[in-house]
Amino acid sequence: MRQCMKFFPLLALVFISLTGTATVKAATGLNPPVKLVWHYYKVTNTCDDAEAYIRHQVEKFYRSDTSIAPKLLRLLYSDCMVNGCDASVLLQGPNSERTAPQNRGLGGFVIIDKIKQVLESRCPGVVSCADILNLATRDAGHMAGAPSYPVFTGRRDGGALTADAVDLPSPSISVEESLAYFNSKGLDVLDMTTLLGAHSMGKTHCSHIVNRLYNFKNTGKPDPTMNSTLVSQLQYLCPPRTQKGQTDPLVYLNPDSGSSNRFSSSYYSRVLSHNAVLGVDQQLLYNDDSKEISQEFASSFEDFRKSFALAMSRMGSINVLTGKAGEIRRDCRVTNANYGA
């Protein structure tokens, strides 16, 4: 870990001191063993300008569509949290990972495919789709206001998973269930509370929140922890689901930022005032540690940004393939065995 910290000062964060007398211990670096390298493509002299090529393409997309920031954040989360950061979510197929119900509405695939085409024309067979996804997400997030942190690289791409392998949890789970899920991936309460802060941007389908609006825990009433004004606003946008085939509108996860798609700490202020849209977000109030972290981040955007850099790096190191494991795909949508088929 000391060697890692020498290159990445942000990983020296040991804990965040919170208001009051309590402290919440946090991880000090990437999950061991750290197999990735900072500026891997420069170090190996295989594609010196890979990161610059990626950033240039992301900038072009971002200028015309700022929503690529939340789309790529969700895409990376959906990849890393299922089978590790191996770009398996990018693979196409009738029963592929991306077709799982939990992945409905995933976006950002076109961006990754375009970047891969550019890199294949300049450095064929060198830069993995998994690294592209991690780097592009960092760059898009930075353009939206998130920190620009060093992304360790050298990942290789994994094989296909089926839709039923996707274990992403429901957005209505309790904080205990959410923490257990993050713990199962090697992440802690600070990682969980920080990564959920990505919900300061993006949208969700009404079907993910109608239970909170109309029939919370089969009571026939809204979630009593939800601000009544927010309930009214969302009920207007999300009618009860009473018919098969009914449309499923999208609503902003953070009405404060809305269409601006700006990365901010207002998410935590909304959690503290019972104005979180998703149930899993509001649940952060019902764990002492996640509540104190939320209070700290609501009062200090800089603390949130520093913690976000660390949490994204830790998530990006989950079960990575390196060395001779996996492959470097020629096309992010298919494995090499199926390339050109």
Q: Are 37 and 45 in contact (CB under 8 A)?
A: no
b/e code 290-314 from CB counts within 10 Å (16+ = b): bbbbbbbbbeeeebbbbbbbbbbbb
Give SS3 for 70: helix
Q: Known binder of ligand: residue 199?
A: yes
Distances in Å between the alpha carbon of 63 and those of 24, 54, 140, 144, 200?
39, 14, 10, 11, 20
d(CA 65, CA 25): 38
Residue 90: CB partners within 8 Å, gap ≥ 6? 79, 98, 109, 112, 129, 133, 332, 333
Q: Which ranges constitute the DSSP H helices of the chain?
A: 2-7, 40-43, 50-64, 68-83, 109-122, 129-143, 175-184, 189-196, 210-214, 228-237, 266-272, 279-282, 288-299, 301-315
Active site residue 138: no
Q: Known binder of ligand: residue 120?
A: no
Q: Known binder of ligand: residue 89?
A: no
Give SS3 for 153: strand
Q: Known binder of ligand: residue 147?
A: no
Give SS3 for 277: coil
Catalytic residue among 55, 74, 138, 314: 74
Give SS3 for 213: helix
Q: Known binder of ligand: residue 94?
A: no
Q: Which residue has the tokens 């939800």?
A: 226
Q: Known binder of ligand: residue 82?
A: yes
Beta-ladder partners of 203: 252
Q: Report residue 237 as tokens.
A: 């946008």
Q: Are 267 and 281 in contact (CB under 8 A)?
A: yes
Q: Are 195 and 77 in contact (CB under 8 A)?
A: yes
Distances in Å between the alpha carbon of 256 and those of 200, 205, 262, 293?
9, 17, 10, 20
Q: Known binder of ligand: residue 191?
A: no
Residues placed in the known binding site for heme b: 199
Residues placed in the known binding site for Ca(2+): 79, 82, 84, 86, 88, 97, 256
Q: Which residues are catalytic?
A: 74
Residues placed in the known binding site: 79, 82, 84, 86, 88, 97, 169, 199, 256
